[in-house]
Structures are given as structure tokens and as C-alpha cells.
Chain A
Amino acid sequence: MHIAEGFLPPVHAVAWGAASAPFVVHGARSLIREVREHPESTLLLGASGAFTFVLSALKLPSVTGSCSHPTGTGLGAVLFRPPVMAVLGTITLLFQSLLLAHGGLTTLGANVFSMAIVGPWAGYGVYRLLRRYEAPLMVAVFFGAFVADLSTYCVTSVQLALAFPDPGSGFVGALGKFGSIFAVTQIPLAVSEGLLTVLVMRMLVQSSRGELTRLGVLVSSVAGRERAESAEAVAR
């Protein structure tokens, strides 16, 4: 669910655009450098963007029985890293607004900030933290995807609360209202997205180990296993 066209006041739309710009520019510069050094990366990055777009189009059964779409930001951040996701997410959101009118052009900055910046960074942060403490890959992937999804909608609630403060209790009351609609209801969907991401990752580990190693996803798991084995050997 993206903030629709015209929903935010112009000042807020510009401010969120300015807040997103440094992250997108940083990601775009690293992407351009990568493409100039390795021209073949264009196709791989394009494929990654298409995968992100298609992932967000899958219908996700919620644990409450309803149905929604995953954000795909958690899996994208684990596979391609948050700076790349800032660019791929921006491209995906631009396509969604221009092809489907999901989101909008004036609200692109706000949607990019929640879905292509905060979501991937929060999810990736949790994933890395859990991996550092040697949590199993699938546990780290689940919580990475869960946090990425939920943080996206928490930021959306903050953006809406800032734009439309409650007449009685200001920002806090508005955050409660928007949060109860856009963030609390998202918890079962975030659980669903976490489960889906684990299923996708399990199948990828079985079928695309080469690609995952190339993307650096499995390096840490191998290193972790080696560390565990050496610790075990020392203990013995």
C-alpha cells in the first residue's frame, strides 16, 4: 500500500523527496560505477529490479485470512544490499505509479523513503545483527523480512501523521490513528511476508546456491560454520 497521488501537502512531498534524495543518489552513483566497471551488470541489475517488481505483485495469503502483496524489500535487501535496493526500489515505485497508479509522482519521495530506504535498511540491519550472533540463516531471513515490512508501514504512518495531525491530540493522536490502520493491521501481513521469504530463500539455497554465493548471501553462512567448527575444535 503506497501513499496515493496528491495525498500529501506539497511541502511534505518536497521534504520527503529531499530526505530520500541522498540515499537514492548514493545508490545510483554506486550502481553507475558498477555498470561502468562491469557492463554485464546492467542485465543482472535489471533482472533484480524485475524480480523485485514481480515479487511485489505476488498475492500473499495473510494469517488472518485476507490477502495482500509483499513489499519484497526484506528479501531484496538481503540479496542485493540496501544501497542497490534504494535505486531498484525507486525504479519499481516509479513503474508502479506510472503503470498502475499505485503511489504517485508527488508522493514518490515519501514512498521511496519508507519502502526503498527505511524498509531495506531496517530489515538488513536486523538480518546482519542476527547473523553476527550466529542465528540460523532462515531465522535471520524471517526477522529481516518481518522488520522490513513492518518498518515500511510504521514510517508510512509517521508520514501521514505529520501531514494530518489530529485536531485534539496533534501528532501523537494522528500516529495512533494511522498506525492502527496501516501498521498494526500490517503485523499479520509482515508475519506472512517473513514466512514467504523463508520459503523462497530455502528454495534458492537448494536451487541457486551459485547465485547466492555470488551475491554474498551464503558467504557469511559458510564463514559462520567455519567459525563454529573452529570453536568446536578449540573446545575439544
Chain B
Amino acid sequence: MDKAVLSLGLTALAISLPPWPGAALVLVATLAVLLGPAGVPGRRLWRAYRVPLGFCVTGALTLLVQVGGPDGFVSPAEDGPLRAGELLLRTSAASLGVLLFAFTTPLSDLLPRLVRAGVPAPLVDVALVTYRMSFLLLDSVRRVREAQAARLGHTTRAAAWRSLGGLGATAFVRSFDRAARLQTGLAGRGYDGTLRVLVPETRISVRFTVLSVALLAALAALTLVLERPLS
């Protein structure tokens, strides 16, 4: 909960504050939190960040040009660099805020609490099973891929396609097989349709929450102070 205040608060600030200097300040602050107190290794962060960043850059590039007009079919847009830069700042800062949440909050902690927030229990149960089974399946798929590679399953293009098809089919068969075995196991333990899991009581750190709110307020105030001199 307290971590959500910080990470989702940073995301909200990145979207709602003026991109310059607001989103830039949020970007720097989030990066500092991720690499500092959150202890996320830089290489891991980059591997996770490059995919959303790729979309941000590709999307922003289109704003640099305009279609039609007196200068030809495709020409540089007048405010293109400014709009592209603002969009890039806003979206890269917001994505980093979500990554802070992703790196610090296990979904298995969050999902069972959604029932208390009013989400219907059957939906949460399906999401929980999906979450837990996804990692088992990903692990299974990784091992099948290794086995295929060891059997020279990726040496030619045709073999690679055949192996990929087999991988998809294996994932389907294993997911259904696992569901059937889980059903048998749960039936033996009196499964009545609700997946009861122990949810450890959360202790909301008042100090952490206050510091988070203070950081968010400081970023917003600093943006308002710096906006006029820097723009």
C-alpha cells in the first residue's frame, strides 16, 4: 500500500505535471529511488525499461514530421521536436513509475486484497490461478525450448517453426493438464469453489508514506517554481 502511494503517485505526477520540467524531475527522482533505496540493479532495470522506451521513442518520432502542407507530402513539423520531446519525457517518466511498482510489489501480495476492494471473488480467483500458473508454464516452456535446441530443433528455419508450433501446443496441453491435476488435488481437500489463501497482514509504514507524500509534494512544488524560469 505504502509502496503504491510512492510509485503510482510518481506515475500520476509524470502524467499530470507539465513535461518540462515536471516529468523530467519525476524521471530523475524515480530513477534515483529505483537504483538507490529500491536496490534494483542497473542492468535489470535497463532490460525491463527498453521495451516501453522503444514504444515511446517510436511513437514520438512520428511527431517530428507532418503529412501534407505547402512544404511537400512529408516535411518536418513546426513544433515537432518540442511535442516529441514532451511526449517522450512524460511517457518515459510514467513508465518508470510503473516499473518501480513492478520491481517492489509482488502481485501475489496485491491480488488477494482486491476482494476487499470490491472486485468479485471469482474474478480474483481466476487472476490468482493465472498468475501462479503463468510462471510454472514459462519455466516449463523454457525447459522445452532448451530440449528442442539440444535436439537441433532450431538449426533451420523450418525446424525452428516446427519447434515453435510444438512449444505453443505443449504450453496448451500442460496448462490444461496442470489445471486438471490441481482440480483433483483441491477436490481431495474439500474445494467448494473459493480459493482461500493466507494473506499476511500488511503493516503500513507511516514514516515511509509520509516521506513518499513529501517527495511527491516537493516534486510538484519544484515544478511550479521552475516552470516559468526554465520554459
Least Cβ–Cβ distance between A80 and chain B, in angstroms? 11
Could you tell me if A50 and B137 are in contact, using CB atoms closer than 8 angstroms? yes
Tell yes or no: A47 within 8 A of B by CB.
yes
Interface residues of A in 204-225 (CB under 8 A from B): 204, 207-208, 211
Of A95, A169, A197, the contact of B69 (CB 8 Å cutoff): A169
Tell yes or no: B204 within 8 A of A by CB.
no
CA distance A164 to B62 in the complex (A): 9
Interface residues of A in 102-161 (CB under 8 A from B): 102, 104-106, 160
The interface residues of chain A, by DSSP majority, are classed as helix
CA distance A134 to B8 in the complex (A): 51
Of B14, B102, B168, the contact of A101 (CB 8 Å cutoff): B102
Could you tell me if B14 and A6 are in contact, using CB atoms closer than 8 angstroms? yes
Could you tell me if A167 and B79 are in contact, using CB atoms closer than 8 angstroms? yes
- Chain B interfacial residues counted at CB < 8 A: 84
Could you tell me if B66 and A7 are in contact, using CB atoms closer than 8 angstroms? no
* A interface, size bucket: 35 or more
The chain B residues found within 8 Å of chain A, CB to CB, are: 8, 11, 14-16, 48-49, 51-52, 55-56, 58-59, 61-63, 65-69, 75, 77-79, 83, 87, 90-91, 93-95, 97-99, 101-102, 105, 107, 110, 120, 122-123, 125-134, 136-138, 141, 157, 160-162, 164-169, 171-173, 175-176, 178-180, 182-183, 186-187, 191-195
Query: Assuming A45-B129, A202-B165, what are 12 further A-B pairs, CB within 8 angstroms?
Result: A7-B55, A31-B122, A35-B125, A40-B187, A44-B176, A47-B129, A48-B175, A49-B126, A50-B134, A95-B130, A98-B101, A199-B165
The chain A residues found within 8 Å of chain B, CB to CB, are: 1-7, 10, 28, 31-32, 35-36, 39-40, 42-51, 53-55, 57-61, 75, 79, 87-88, 91-92, 94-95, 97-102, 104-106, 160, 164, 166-169, 173-174, 176-178, 181, 195-200, 202-204, 207-208, 211
- Interchain residue pairs with CB less than 8 A apart (11): A44-B176, A54-B134, A54-B171, A91-B130, A98-B110, A100-B51, A102-B52, A166-B66, A169-B67, A199-B164, A208-B176
